[in-house]
Amino acid sequence: MGLGGLSKLSVWFLKLGIRPERIEPGHPEQNGRHERMHRTLKESTVNPPRRDIEEQQETFEAFQYEYNFEHPHEALGQKTPASFYLPSLRPYPVEIPKIEYAHNVVVRQVRHNGEIKWKGNLIYILEALAGEPVALKQKRKHLWEIRFSFYPLGVLNELVG
């Protein structure tokens, strides 16, 4: 993870119009259900590790089926997750939309190494954005907000070296 807390996966989500949501670093209690699922997954599938990758994969698949279709969950009123699941009605695009920006911003293409060129200098943004356009919008003299699509990444202060 880097600037804006983005990974390649979250960049892909943003391109689809999905806003990542995060808990505060160091506060797993803000996402207790998810943390509990990971603990159960670990206890059920990797302690001890299986003989080979195929057997390990079978163990993961069996866990997934049992966890979602057979195991009742207290947080769901003793029902299974599968009993609540509905497929998304949002259509998946045939082609991922290109990011476009308003005319009142400066657009820079992120290089393969995660940098942009800004006023003769190379500024590291994020490798996960390699090949993508980012927008810089002036907020005050020497201060520029950096965005990828609708998502704020940070602020560039031209006075800080």
Per-residue pLDDT, 36:
85
Of 109, 88, 89, nearest to 98 by C-alpha is: 109
Per-residue pLDDT, 34:
85
Per-residue pLDDT, 1:
54
Bigger pLDDT: 5 vs 7: 7
Burial zone of 121 (CB within 10 Å; 0-12 exposed, 13-18 middle, 19+ buried): exposed
Per-residue pLDDT, 94:
92
Please determine, for residue 82, whether its predicted confidence score (pLDDT) is greater than 90.
Answer: yes
Sign of CA dihedral 64, 65, 68, 73: negative
Say how far apart CA 116 and CA 23 lie, in whole Å.
29
pLDDT tens figures, 87-131:
989 888 999 989 999 999 999 999 999 999 999 999 999 999 999
- Residue boundaries of the structural domains of the chain: 1-16+95-161, 28-92
pLDDT tens figures, 12-66:
999 999 888 888 888 888 888 888 889 989 999 988 899 999 999 999 999 999 9
What is the end-to-end Cα distance of the chain in Å, rounded? 22
The phi and psi torsions of 32 (rounded to 5 degrees) equal -55, -40
Per-residue pLDDT, 24:
85
DSSP 8-class letter at 160: -
